[in-house]
Structure 1
Amino acid sequence: MPSAVTSRQVSVSALRFGRFAVMSVVTALILIAGVWASWGSAQHVMLTKGREQGTVEVTRCAERTCTGPFVPSSAGARPRGSVEIERSVAVRRGSTYTVVVKPGSDEVVRSGPAGVLYAWVPLGGALLLAAVVVAGGLRRTRAAWVLAGSGVVLLTAAFVTV
């Protein structure tokens, strides 16, 4: 017959394992969501082979997008009178940006180092959020500092280059 001390040790171990499992799943989901959110733009910026590349001079900005003419710089790209680029703090009217056209659309994303880093900004935020979960829920402070440091470096690099 198990004693009260043994029964208590088993229940504490089970609760500790449960917390570890749940927090590990939450951390994994946060990081997967960050990659998923980033990959929508990052795939066009990082995998440019066969994609239309060029520049856009922003002539007009609305609430969520800016537009301007597209001037091709890669073979097979065609000039367009107007393409859309997502409006952000990094996009200003009158400026020219190197871009990649999303296949089958007139929507473009920034290319080059600034475009790559800007595309991965959601992952930087996810790294910071995951660091809080790892530190608080998993009690792994070193791993949390690594995640937080990675997120800060990514966000800072994106801020500096954009």
Structure 2
Amino acid sequence: MPSAVLSPRGSSAVLRLCRFAAMGTVAALILVAGVWASWGTAQHAMLTKGRERGTVEVTRCGGAACTGSYTPLSPGSQPRARVVLEDSVAVAEGETYTVVLKPGGDDAVRSGPAGILYAWVPLGGALLLASVVVAGGLLRTRAAWVLAASGAALLTAAFVAL
């Protein structure tokens, strides 16, 4: 009569499959979250066609934002006395930065290579974190090294560009 109990070999295979599914899901969620966090800013920095482009001379920084006057570079864009640029280690008072304005407001995003790389920094962190999950949970060391190297390269490039 067949037994309903799994053999030790069968239960081990089921546990490996469950671990693989769970850790694969966690790694995928980490990467999706990194892309999601980056895309909010990256879309403005990368897809500049049809958007207002110009420069901002930062006159004041405080809290979480810097403000300054906007000088347009693209046709149809109007000068503005005050736009808001997210404060970061890469923004300093008295400096001028090329920016793209977000539609429907006075929020600006840095453009050019530095702005694009800075926008993708959350993805770089997600790649590093996912590499730990892939190495430890999935036991895929080569894939983990590729993820870690990609994340480190992205973060280093953003640091150098800023």
How high is the TM-score relative to the length of structure 2? 0.97
Deviation at 1:11, TM superposition (A): 0.4
Aligned residue number for residue 12 of structure 2: 12
Where do residues 88-103 of structure 1 align in structure 2 (5 Å cutoff)? 88-103=88-103
C-alpha separation in 1, matches of 2:151 and 2:132: 12
The residue identity in structure 2 corresponding to 1:24 is G
Query: Which residue matches 2:71?
Result: 71
How far residue 2 of structure 1 moved from its aligned partner, in angstroms, is: 5.3
- In structure 2, the residue matched to 1:151 is 151
RMSD: 1.2
1:105 aligns to what?
A: 105
Structure 1 residue matching 2:93: 3-state secondary structure: coil
Structure 1 residues 3 and 71, CA gap change in structure 2 (3 angstroms): closer
Q: Distance in 2 between matches of 1:110 and 1:75?
A: 18
Deviation of 1:78 after TM superposition, in Å, equals 0.6
Matched with 1:48 is: 48
**4+ residue runs over 6 A deviation:** none
**Matches of 2:103 and 2:34, distance apart in 1:** 23
Query: What SS class does the counterpart of residue 29 from structure 2 fall into?
Result: helix
C-alpha displacement at 1:141, in angstroms? 0.2
What SS does the aligned partner of 2:7 have? helix
User: Structure 1, residues 28-49: CA drift from partner, whole Å, max 9, x if none?
Assistant: 0000000000000000011101
Q: Which runs of 5+ in 2 are unaligned?
A: none
What is the CA deviation profile of residues 20-77 of structure 1, one whole-angstrom value per residue up to 9, with x for unaligned ones?
0000000000000000000000000111010000000000011100000000000111
Counterpart in the other structure of 1:62: 62
User: Which residue matches 2:137?
Assistant: 137
Structure 1 residues without counterparts, runs of 5 or longer: none
Question: Aligned equivalents of 1:76 and 1:29: distance in 2?
Answer: 41
The residue identity in structure 2 corresponding to 1:15 is: L
Provide the residue aligned with 2:34 in structure 1: 34
Q: State TM-score, norm by structure 1.
A: 0.97
* 1:102, distance to aligned residue in structure 2 (A): 0.2
Aligned AA for 2:42?
A
